[in-house]
């Protein structure tokens, strides 16, 4: 069974250095002995966090999908955004 790795880049830019590093990490997993499913999550559809609307039984669809991916992950990588 493959290791399920979820990665998140804090930058939405196409040419983001951190997203590029995540792509390089994903490419590197092809050379690993253990099979790895490496997914870079797009956070562009996620709203800013607001506890007033964070309702567990009725989250926004983008939030529900994000949580589902995180819960299914064996590992989670966050690449912090860079500044222009």
Where are the chain's structural domains? 3-7+25-79
pLDDT one-digit tens code per residue, 26-79? 999 988 899 999 999 999 999 998 888 887 677 888 988 999 999 999 999 999
Model pLDDT, residue 84: 60
How many C-beta neighbours within 10 Å does residue 67 have?
A: 12
Kindly state the average pLDDT of the residues 6-10. 95
Model pLDDT, residue 82: 65
Model pLDDT, residue 49: 87
* Helix (H), strand (E) at residue 25: helix 17-28
Return contacts of 46-53, CB within 8 angstroms, 24+ apart.
Answer: none
Interacting residues of 60 by C-beta distance below 8 A, sequence separation 6+:
47, 53
């Amino acid at each position: 069974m493959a290791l399920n790795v979820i990665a998140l880049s804090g930058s939405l830019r196409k040419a983001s250095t951190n997203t590029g590093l995540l792509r390089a990490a994903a490419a590197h997993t092809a050379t690993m002995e253990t099979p790895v499913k490496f997914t870079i999550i797009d956070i562009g559809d996620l709203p800013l966090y607001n506890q007033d609307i964070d309702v567990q039984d009725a989250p926004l669809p983008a939030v529900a999908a994000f949580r589902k991916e995180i819960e299914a992950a064996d590992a989670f990588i966050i690449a912090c955004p860079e500044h222009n």
